[in-house]
């Protein structure tokens, strides 16, 4: 008798679960994806084109926007993927091109390309101003909520965008060059900087001095030094021997929080 009772209860429970699974609403097969396109945002150069990534269409009509400035390698897949990552977070992201369509994986060629840009700073600034203006005019961008981000060579340019008050509220610097003695009187943006403790080109002492300088300015700036890392620790996973996953993840999470709080 007890066995029959137990079997009856099991059958009833199985029938109930099956009914619930059958009646459960089906998940939408529609997957929201970001929109990407190559765009002509400036008249600088003859082959210059940016990579634009935009959030899926949704309730929010106006989004914060971010300018991405590439490493000395040029506008490569890592930068494009990061633009898409930002778009998934709800930002309109424009990755600029300061190399007029060129990119490389060879250090000697990268050095030549970067040196060429530094030899014509006016054109580089014009390129970045055009990128900012392009985003400001887009119908889905809130022009009061803009930021810049850059890595290495691009990190230095993200700093220049902030220092010269080109129209952003926040600037993210990944191991980019700066000068602690710079006059920051024009700067209105808040800065977050990610630096390596074993960077052969940017010393910890200089980073600490930079942090001290920022503390004398208005705003809430953040500087982080990552232990046991070298220059490039957060760039190009899978192909960069200096990449450190834990440090890169920490820097990314801090960057997202910083941007959310400032924009």
Give residue 6's pLDDT.
Answer: 36
The pTM of the full predicted model, rounded to 2 decimals, is 0.87
Residue 49 lies in a domain: yes
Residue 168 backbone dihedrals phi, psi, to 5 degrees: -110, 155
Residue 2 lies in a domain: no
Q: How far apart are CA 261 and CA 263, in angstroms?
A: 6
The confidence score (pLDDT) of residue 1 equals 41
Pairwise CA distance, residues 190 & 169, whole Å: 6
Instruction: Answer whether residue 1 is part of any domain.
Output: no
E-strand ranges in 22-91 read 35-39, 50-54, 63-69
- 129 vs 133: CA distance, rounded Å: 6
pLDDT in tens, 94-114: 999 999 999 999 999 999 999
Q: What is the DSSP letter of 219?
A: S
Q: Is residue 22 part of a domain?
A: no
Average confidence score pLDDT of the chain = 89
Q: How many residues does the chain have?
A: 263
Please check whether residue 99 lies inside any domain of the structure.
yes
Listed in order, strand segments (DSSP E) in the chain are 35-39, 50-54, 63-69, 92-95, 141-151, 170-174, 190-196, 222-226
Lowest mean pLDDT among 16-25, 46-55, 236-245: 16-25
The reply to whether 9 falls in a domain is no
Crossing angle between the packed helical segments 121-136 and 153-163, to the nearest 10 degrees:
70
**Cα dist. 100→48, 55, 114, 116 in Å?**
4, 26, 12, 11
Work out the percent of the chain whose per-residue pLDDT is above 70.
87
Question: Of 21-35, 55-69, 180-194, 237-251, which gets the smallest average pLDDT?
Answer: 21-35
Angle at 32 between CA 31 and CA 35, to 5 degrees: 130
Sequence-separated (6 or more) residues with CB below 8 Å from residue 220: 190
Is residue 17's pLDDT more than 60? no
Residues β-bridged to residue 171: 148, 191
Q: What's the total number of domains in the chain?
A: 1
The residues near 71 (Cβ < 8 Å, ≥ 6 apart) are: 78, 79, 110, 151, 152, 153, 154, 232, 235
**174 in a structural domain:** yes
State the pairing for strand pair 50-54/35-39.
antiparallel
Residue 95: DSSP 8-state: E
Residue-number span of the structural domain to which 164 is assigned: 34-262
**203-229 burial: b if 16+ Cβ within 10 Å, else e:** eeebbeebbebbeeeeeebbbebbeeb
Instruction: Reply yes or no on whether the pLDDT at 191 is more than 60.
Output: yes
What CATH number should be reported for the domain holding residue 76?
3.40.50.1820
In a domain, 43, yes or no: yes
DSSP string, 182-212: ---TT--SEEEEEEETT-SSS-HHHHHHHHH
């Amino acid at each position: 008798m007890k066995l029959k009772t137990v079997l009856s209860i099991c059958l009833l429970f199985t029938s109930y679960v099956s009914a619930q699974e059958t009646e459960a609403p089906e998940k939408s097969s529609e997957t929201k994806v970001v929109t990407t396109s190559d765009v002509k945002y400036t008249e600088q150069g003859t082959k210059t084109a940016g990579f634009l990534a935009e959030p899926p269409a949704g309730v929010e009509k106006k989004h914060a926007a971010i300018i991405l400035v590439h490493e000395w390698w040029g506008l490569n897949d890592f930068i494009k993927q990061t633009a898409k990552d930002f778009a998934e977070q709800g930002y309109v992201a424009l990755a600029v091109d300061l190399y007029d369509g060129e990119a490389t994986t060879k250090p000697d060629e990268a050095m030549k390309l970067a040196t060429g840009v530094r030899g014509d700073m006016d054109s580089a600034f014009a390129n970045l101003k055009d990128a900012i203006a392009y985003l400001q005019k887009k119908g889905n961008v809130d022009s009061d909520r803009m930021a810049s981000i850059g890595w290495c060579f691009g990190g230095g340019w993200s700093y220049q965008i902030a220092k010269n008050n080109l129209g952003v509220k926040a600037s993210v610097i990944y191991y980019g060059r700066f000068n602690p003695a710079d006059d920051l009187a024009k700067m209105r943006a808040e800065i977050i900087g990610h630096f390596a403790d074993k960077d052969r080109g940017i010393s910890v002492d200089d980073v600490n001095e930079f942090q001290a300088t920022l503390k004398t300015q208005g705003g809430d700036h953040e500087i982080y030094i990552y232990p046991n890392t070298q220059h490039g620790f957060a760039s190009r996973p899978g192909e960069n021997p200096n990449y450190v996953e834990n440090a890169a993840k920490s820097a990314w999470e801090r960057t997202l929080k910083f941007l959310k709080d400032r924009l």
